[in-house]
Amino acid sequence: MEQFTVHTGTAVPLRASNVDTDQIIPAKYLKRITRHGYEDALFAAWRSDPGFVLNDPARAGASILVAGPDFGTGSSREHAVWALQDHGFRVVISSRFADIFRGNSGKGGLLTALVAQEVVEQLWAATEADPALPVTVDLVARTVAFGDVAAPFEIDDYVRWRLLEGLDDIGITLQSAGLIADFEARRPTFAPRTA
Amino acid sequence: MGRTLAEKVWDAHVVRSAPGEPDLLYIDLHLVHEVTSPQAFDGLRAAGRSVRRPDLTLATEDHNVPTIDIDKPIADPVSRAQVEALRRNAAEFGVPIHSLGSQDQGIVHVVGPQLGLTQPGMTIVCGDSHTSTHGAFGALAFGIGTSEVEHVLATQTLPLKPFRTMAITVNGVLPDGVTAKDLILTVIARIGTGGGQGYVLEYRGEAIRALSMEARMTICNMSIEAGARAGMIAPDETTFAYIEGRPKAPTGADWAQAVASWRTLVTDDDAEFDAEVVIDASELTPFVTWGTNPGQGVPLAGAVPGPEEFADPVEQEAARKALAYMGLAAGTPMREIAVDTVFLGSCTNGRIEDLRAAAEILRGRRVAEGVRMLVVPGSVRVRLAAMAEGLDRVFLEAGAEWREAGCSMCLGMNPDTLKPQERSASTSNRNFEGRQGPGGRTHLVSPQVAAATAVRGTLSSPADLAPVA
Ligand code: SF4
């Protein structure tokens, strides 16, 4: 996994709440069996509208998405994270995230920065006024900075540490293989098996 | 201090715990399906890892299998590739699989309980958010993403932070004609689609105790629509009776030991929940959704709300968007909304009791002119049981379509979809934009309301129907 420390990029203001994962990536794209190549699938339904913010040429190359509350609700599809990343996003900023989406993001290396809704509103206004405005997300200091604003964001300590180190979860867990085997020896005999 | 049910199950599965780190939790059962697993198996292969416990893992094909002509190759090449990838991965990694055509094929959340694999006190995961269904047995069951699927395959564990706990206490008795689906839609409308975020919900109280296992599964299934990680119901005699004798249920001395252990799985009297919601069952009525998230619901006797009825500006805006998408005008009585399609099925309401309830209403009646009704059993065994009772005849004679098992029109991944602007009454769990097909409009309803709606052609409850002549 790629390390994440400080990232500066331009931002896309997505003025919508309750952006569920069916909107982020419609179900039909879930049939693919690869791990990459989902950039075309991101917000596919909305992108057929020429006025949709992501279609604005001034937003090309943006790497930070700023969305309304309850981003990532609904289906647990991790493709939502891959689609955002394949499109070039490294950070999503919102005032409330769905739990599973947030968990998936942390594992995949997409930073979800939780800020107060007023910061979201400020970011929307600032980046609508100037699409080229640089926004800096500093995971070390846990701040989002743009123009003359610097606002704190929240992120789980453990997820932050993994992102900072670029560590893979399975490798970390396998260091406890002995403890897992001990636990298995203690499981009740009545516990069911599939085969 | 005492512990809640969720905390007891959690504590019993901690492999490793250290300050400032997530607990490493052991997983008793890992259910796998074709959509969220290929990338996980790919990851294992790339890292040269194996599946640690194939004997605690089970694969089924459900999300994009067709529900007609299942003896022919799957027509859609992409769906076929996904199903074939699952079969190859299961064979390569030694994971048991119930493929299309097998008697044990079906929706993953119908198959687990039906085999007796879902038992109280277990930790159960699947790369699917409706894994919460299994919580009806007093298991801690929750959906995970594909990276976590890979993690469980490789280690049979997951690093997790403890969830908060919320009690949903439902006192009193559900009135006649009010179902588990109406209850859970009411709960979601009350607490909102984000209200359960970070919580495990424990449903308790007199009305919950009175429910059958299948009704309990309907409730736990939709916990995720309130944003919760999981829903749970403490096991009791109803639970034990449901499990006993199933293929994977404990037998003999193991059975006695299991039941004794399961009886301890109740929230202690002095345990504290982080939050509590109390509902009076006697006030509930049939409940349906009008909007594009499961929290946008009203009593069937009510009307489509106007955006100005919501205090919160974010909800107002969401209501405006939903009304436009749904093609509805504020103030329209719900009972006057006409549908094109009725879908009876899904892991929420595709079990035998759901089919029985709908068939009872359709017996001697006909699906309205111009309305298409799809009946899709949740599993092959549900289908066979329904046929043994003659329910297939009832549906066919009423003019409904009787299909093979699968997720079908719950999500638009297989050939069963709504056309743009088509409107459905659906017993599934999500009314998101495009969920049942691009541009499709979904109203979530109970099986009883689905059947009555099929007969009248507009959203209806059985009480609205003329008696059978
Ligand atoms: S029936 Fe619907 S909700 Fe249930 S597993 Fe299938 S697609 Fe998911």
pLDDT digits (tens, 9 = 90+) for B208-230: 999 999 999 999 999 999 999 99
Considering only CB atoms, A76 lies closest to which of B24, B117, B129, namely B129
Q: Are B110 and B242 in contact (CB under 8 A)?
A: no
Would you say residue A32 has pLDDT above 80?
no
Among chain B residues, the shortest Cα distance to A21 is held by B432
* Cα(A4)–Cα(B79) distance, integer angstroms: 36
Q: What does the mean pLDDT of chain B come to? A: 95
Q: Which two tokens stand for residue B48?
A: 């040269």
Tens of pLDDT, residue by residue over B48-71, are 899 999 999 999 998 888 888 877
Contacts of A100 in chain B (CB under 8 A): 129, 143-145, 229
Q: B347 C-alpha vs ligand 1 centroid, how far in Å?
A: 6
Q: Which two tokens stand for residue A151?
A: 């606002």
| Percentage with pLDDT > 70 across chain B | 100
Q: Are B90 and A159 in contact (CB under 8 A)?
A: no
Q: A158 C-alpha vs ligand 1 centroid, how far in Å?
A: 32
Q: Which two tokens stand for residue B61?
A: 């094909």
Q: What does the mean pLDDT of chain A come to? A: 94
For chain B, what's the residue count?
469
Looking at residue A2, what is its pLDDT? 77
Tens of pLDDT, residue by residue over B390-427, are 999 999 999 999 999 989 899 877 788 999 999 999 99
Q: Are B160 and B268 in contact (CB under 8 A)?
A: no
Q: Which two tokens stand for residue A12?
A: 């896309």
Considering only CB atoms, A27 lies closest to which of B57, B143, B411, namely B411
Looking at residue B23, what is its pLDDT? 97
Predicted confidence band of residue B204 (pLDDT cuts 50, 70, 90)? very high
Min CA distance, B397 vs chain A (Å)? 33
Strand B123-126 to B97-98 pairing: unpaired
**Which residues have a Cβ under 8 Å from the Cβ of A136 and sit 6 or more positions away?**
A6, A7, A8, A143, A144, A145, A146
Look at A22 and B433 and tell me if their CB atoms are within 8 Å.
yes
Q: B232 C-alpha vs ligand 1 centroid, how far in Å?
A: 19
- The residue type of A42 is L
Looking at residue B163, what is its pLDDT? 94
Looking at residue B74, what is its pLDDT? 84
* Cα(A62)–Cα(A64) distance, integer angstroms: 6
Q: Are B18 and B149 in contact (CB under 8 A)?
A: no
Count of CB atoms situated within 10 Å of the CB of A117: 14
Would you say residue B270 has pLDDT above 80?
yes
Look at B197 and A98 and tell me if their CB atoms are within 8 Å.
yes
Looking at residue B434, what is its pLDDT? 93
* Cα(A188)–Cα(A54) distance, integer angstroms: 53
Q: What is the DSSP letter of B399?
A: T
Taking residues B19-46, report their average pLDDT: 92
* Ligand 1 atom nearest to B33, measured from its CA: 5
- Ranges of beta strands (E only) in B328-403 are 341-344, 372-375, 401-402
In DSSP terms, B57 is beta-bridged to B30
Looking at residue A72, what is its pLDDT? 96
Taking residues A104-128, report their average pLDDT: 95
Nearest to B408 by CA among B349, B340, B357: B349
Min CA distance, A57 vs chain B (Å)? 25
Tens of pLDDT, residue by residue over B300-327, are 999 999 999 999 999 999 999 999 999 9
* Cα(B355)–Cα(B361) distance, integer angstroms: 10
Torsions phi, psi for B364 (to 5 deg): 80, 5
Looking at residue A123, what is its pLDDT? 97
Assess whether the C-beta atom of B188 lies below 6 angstroms from ligand 1: no
Contacts of B56 in chain A (CB under 8 A): 193-194
Min CA distance, B459 vs chain A (Å)? 25
Q: Which two tokens stand for residue A124?
A: 């929307």
Q: B63 C-alpha vs ligand 1 centroid, how far in Å?
A: 7
- The interface pTM score, or ipTM, of the predicted complex is 0.92
Looking at residue B419, what is its pLDDT? 94
* Cα(A138)–Cα(A153) distance, integer angstroms: 9
Radius of gyration from C-alpha coordinates of chain A: 19
Helices B380-388 and B352-362, axial angle in degrees (round to 10): 40
Alpha-helical segments (H) within B368-469: 380-388, 391-398, 447-456
* Cα(B469)–Cα(B455) distance, integer angstroms: 14
Q: Give me the DSSP letters along B258-280.
A: HHHHHTT-S--TT---SEEEEEE
Look at B147 and A23 and tell me if their CB atoms are within 8 Å.
no
Considering only CB atoms, B35 lies closest to which of A30, A99, A108, namely A30
Would you say residue A1 has pLDDT above 80?
no
Q: Is B139 helix (H, G, I), strand (E, B) or coil?
A: coil
Assess whether the C-beta atom of B436 lies below 6 angstroms from ligand 1: no
Looking at residue B145, what is its pLDDT? 86
Helices A99-108 and B146-155, axial angle in degrees (round to 10): 70
